[in-house]
Amino acid sequence: MDARPDKGPFQQADLATYDAELNQGISLSGEDKDFFAAGRLEILARCLQSQGSAAPSAILDYGCGAGDTTVRLARLWPGSRVVGVDTSESLLSIARSRTPEASRCEFHTPASVPEGLRFDLVYCNGVFHHIPPAERGASLNWIRSRMAPSAWFSLWENNSWNPGTRWVMSRIPFDRDAVPLSPACAVRMLKRHGFSVRRRDFAFVFPKCLKKLRLLEPWLRKLPLGAQYQVLSQ
């Protein structure tokens, strides 16, 4: 979702500034935003495979912004209908203009999602720490109402238990007013709103300068060390 405090129309120049600020904030990792976007989806795909889940026929990218991950989801699951949702009409316009027609992606505000459409997979990254705590329940209820039976919800958030993550967020202007969710808080929140939590995974432990150690990360998924975490629920 649009994380800027003024909520005004989002222009291409604003998007360039947003990306520049994000990449500057995470630059200490030695990677850019594309590295993390690809890594999250790789982990999600492996988790779903380990759960014996079939390929989703309809996917929701909740808080899609300019649609970068929406397109990645469509590439990862060919044949799926992929819908990006955001509250910012101007961001959605940018997403539509940048997305290839053959991508099978479509973009909506929450109110304009086709009424009968239900999703087998909902993906959400870095959105809930920008939603005021009192409003998070309404967002989760809307997501649940759009999920098919036995659908999966992949909630990704920044790991507030990681001091490095908190420091990086303080370096990013649009994250300075965020209200982080600890991994435990995210699990409690999901359970409170009717989700069944299946697993929790931590990711992005080692920076690029320690790249050779990344081979160990699959064995560290359950330890709260990574910069981000996923709570996978149904």
CB 96 within 8 Å of CB 84 = no
Residue 136 neighbours by CB under 8 Å, 6+ apart: 128, 189
Mean pLDDT of 151-176: 86
Tens of pLDDT, residues 177-228: 889 999 999 999 999 999 999 999 999 999 999 999 999 999 999 999 999 9
Note the CATH architecture for domain 12-233.
Answer: 3-Layer(aba) Sandwich (3.40)
Q: Which of 193, 198, 194, 185 lies closest to 233, judged by CA?
A: 198
Is the overall model pTM greater than 0.85, yes or no? yes
The Cα–Cα gap between 70 and 123 comes to 9
Residue 112 to residues 120, 141, 228: CA-CA distances in angstroms? 19, 17, 31
